[in-house]
Amino acid sequence: MLKKLFIFTIISLIISTTLIKNYTKKLDEQIFSLKENINYLDNVKELVQLENDYLSSPEKLLELSNLYFDDELNFTSRKNIKIITNIDQLNLENFSNNNE
């Protein structure tokens, strides 16, 4: 009887060890996946932050404006800016004549 109890204990220990090992392996895979996702998101965040910092300074905006648009951009006052709430308010005839 003692021998059977000893064999049963050994077998149950082996089975429990196998189950625990498989469970921890799955947990390790999930942890690795989450860490990779966090690293990716950190990289994206850094790139977005760099882009924001680079483009948000007024000196950089003026420099880029001069570099890419030369004399195409004109300053206008706020009074001259109209808010369009409906597409029908656009006057596309003048727009097409200005581009030619």
| Helix intervals (H) in 57-85 | 58-69
List pLDDT tens digits, range 42-75.
999 988 988 887 777 777 777 777 788 777 767 7
Residue in the block written with tokens 């895979």: 29
The reported pLDDT for the residue numbered 95 is 61
As given in the structure block, the two tokens for residue 66 are: 């001069």
CA-based max dimension of the chain: 103
The reported pLDDT for the residue numbered 62 is 77
DSSP assignment of 25-72? HHHHHHHHHHHHHHHHHHHHHHHHHHHHHHHHSHHHHHHHHHHHHTTS
Q: How far apart are CA 84 and CA 92, in angstroms?
A: 13
**pTM for this entry:** 0.47
